[in-house]
């Protein structure tokens, strides 16, 4: 998680870590990446 450094990193990583990997679909990953991308741009 080197990419997600800073105070917001825990907020993004924590909920994802609680989900079993199999439950996270490719579409969900893409959606999450878009959210992260917007957060970094803000």
Radius of gyration from C-alpha coordinates of the chain: 11
First to last CA, the chain: 19
Rounded CA-CA distance 33/13 in Å is 11
Instruction: Name the burial class of residue 20, with classes exposed (0-12), middle (13-18) and buried (19+) by CB atoms within 10 angstroms of its CB.
Output: exposed
pLDDT in tens, 1-42: 455 555 555 555 555 555 555 566 788 888 888 998 888 887
pLDDT at site 29: 84
- Give domain limits for the chain: 8-41
pLDDT at site 14: 54
**pTM score, two decimals?**
0.41
């Amino acid at each position: 998680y080197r990419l997600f450094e800073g105070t917001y990193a825990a907020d993004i990583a924590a909920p994802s870590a609680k989900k079993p990997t199999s439950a996270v679909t490719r579409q969900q990953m893409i959606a999450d990446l878009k959210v992260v991308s917007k957060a970094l741009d803000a």
